[in-house]
Structure 1
Amino acid sequence: MKRISLLFAVFLLSSCAMKMEPTADLAEVQQLYAQGDYQAAVQGYERLVRILPKNAELWFRLANGYVRAGQPDAAVTAYRNALLRNPELGIAWHNLAETHLQMALQAYLEGRKYITRDDPSFSSIKAKQDKLLELMGTKEDGGGS
């Protein structure tokens, strides 16, 4: 009986230690993010979502880190993971849409480098790119033909 009680006590203590660790890690990761060390913050958030995979807020923060670290594809996946866990997280829907818009704009800008004015798709691509630029409040950087 003592052996079972001892094992149970060890289990409880290890559970408590595991629960306290993510809180300390979260503060450290948030500080890295605030300091602009986005790659280190991403690594920290990746570690935290492995520990607490059902936490929508952590997935959301990971996604924001990916955006800041220049990894939009990974950000989209992380935003979707956040929304799977909490579909009512409105800011995640907003940031997911913004990330998609930014990715679309980058695709149009990159594509315009290779499309000449006499290409049949030029007008359509330019019009859509201009609408995206206007929607996002961005000015064209002079790219394209």
Structure 2
Amino acid sequence: MKRNDSLFLLLSMLVLTSCATQQARPVLDDLKTLQEQAHQAYLNAEYELAVERYLAVQDYLDKDPFIWFRLGNAYSYLKQPDKAVAAYRKAVFFDPSMSKAWHNMGIMQLRQSANTWTQMLVHTQESDPLYEKAERYSRDTLDVLNKQ
């Protein structure tokens, strides 16, 4: 009786393994297709579609720094700096040596900083004690960005 139970268990495991392998193949094919679509959309400057596809790919490859990097770039082109910086942070988390991600994140943060100083100047009085500092920081930040 034990031998029959063991044989049944072994056959069941083989059947389940076979099913899992057959199901995994379409997922891998779909993933490759999604990656190609994301890459092509990015190259065609279809950044909204690229984001959609990279997010779908990221569901499976969430530790791939290149996916996060490209996602950051797409968000940057879409003028979504917070999402771009978050994606670049993920890229450098998974690959701290990815200099392009560090660079792009720094540029995005400089732009955010310049925007903050500019908005401060718009919304504060010249008599405010911090107005002069904001003016100087705004000018200095814009100078750095203009040298890019």
Matched residue, 2:140: 131
Q: Residue type matched to 1:91 in 2?
A: K
Higher CA-based Rg: 2
Matched residue, 2:16: 7
| More divergent stretch after superposition (43-52 vs 113-122) | 113-122
Cα RMSD for the two superposed structures = 1.7
| In structure 2, distance between residues paired with 1:5 and 1:117 | 77
Matched residue, 1:84: 93
Q: Give the fraction of aligned pairs with identical amino acids, expressed as a percent.
A: 24
Decide which structure has greater helix share. 2
| In structure 1, distance between residues paired with 2:63 and 2:51 | 17
The count of residues paired between Structure 1 and Structure 2 equals: 138
Matched residue, 1:50: 59
Q: Residue type matched to 1:28 in 2?
A: Q
Is the partner of 1:113 in helix, strand or coil?
Answer: helix
Structure 2, unmatched stretches of 5+, are 1-9
Q: Please state how far the C-alpha of 1:87 moved relative to its aligned partner.
A: 1.0
| In structure 1, distance between residues paired with 2:24 and 2:13 | 16
Is the partner of 2:97 in helix, strand or coil?
Answer: coil
| In structure 2, distance between residues paired with 1:106 and 1:68 | 17
TM-score, normalised to structure 1, is: 0.85
1:55-89 Cα deviation digits (max 9, x unpaired): 11111111111111111111111111111111111
Give the counterpart of 2:74 among 65, 68, 92: 65
Q: Please state how far the C-alpha of 1:18 moved relative to its aligned partner.
A: 1.7
Q: Please state how far the C-alpha of 1:127 moved relative to its aligned partner.
A: 0.9
| In structure 1, distance between residues paired with 2:106 and 2:127 | 32
Matched residue, 2:111: 102
| In structure 1, distance between residues paired with 2:15 and 2:35 | 31
1:123-143 Cα deviation digits (max 9, x unpaired): 1111111111111117xxxxx
